[in-house]
Amino acid sequence: MIRPIIVAAFLASAGARATEWVVDERLAPPFAQEDLRGVFVLLDREGERFITNDPVRARRPFLPASTFKILNSLIALEERAVADEHEVLAWDGTDHGSSGWNRDHSLESAFKASAVWFYQEMARRVGEERMAHWLRLAEYGNAGIAGGIDLFWLEGALRITAEEQLLFLERLHDGHVPFSQRVQDTVRRVMIAEEKSTHAVRAKTGWALRGEEGPTGWYVGWVERDGRAWFFALNCDLPRERDGRVRIRVARACLKALSVLQPGEHEILPRSN
């Protein structure tokens, strides 16, 4: 059963598009099965609606954590903090507690491994003034960078809602973000988490540990199939370390419940943060 919720306050935040919010009961079981508390939101452009289990949490701001690597990649490439996605930065030998992080990285490999140190270096190279400029221009969350140029998305001032994540991703997909075509094409390519003959998934995880909201997880992106794109965002509480492993599984179960992915399609293992 689908129970529609149409609230004027929700409609206003979606910009010019008249978008309906629909609470769909099929999204509850994936969270219950994993004992996970959170929200899943799907932007269905053809139906001009957001489909979710929790429209209130969908508009609550959280630290973006490593989902900010999507925008950080766009900014770093546009500002020539690295020449391209293949330029390698040497690991300085600091133990980051992860074999996937404790090595040299390019932007492409750092995105896949979610290597925080690489993106902190990218942010330092860009600098506060240019970083603030790009966040405002990209209309990314509250665009706050207080708390340190290499920490603001991990424990500082930056906040974004699941709804805002979807609208930013939609703009990136459509080429409506303020970056060159070359940079946009590169980041969309780097974002590929799964590519099959039937569909592709472009996505990024995130895990915020130090915000006042408590440990929070993300999985955001979009699914391409049959000439269409469905944009999704999962945001959840992560009080237990084991919960980090189920973010992608819950998101994929929600996508299957809504028939965006099909049963039996390949399951992606979650990244570390």
Exactly one of 13, 66, 73, 98 is catalytic; name it. Answer: 66
**Cβ atoms of 29 and 7 closer than 8 Å:** no
Residues 67 and 119: their CA atoms lie apart, in Å, by: 11
Residues 20 and 114: their CA atoms lie apart, in Å, by: 34
Residues 151 and 59: their CA atoms lie apart, in Å, by: 23
Instruction: Give the Cβ contact number of residue 223 at 10 Å.
Output: 20
Q: Is 114 a catalytic residue?
A: no
Residues tagged active-site: 66
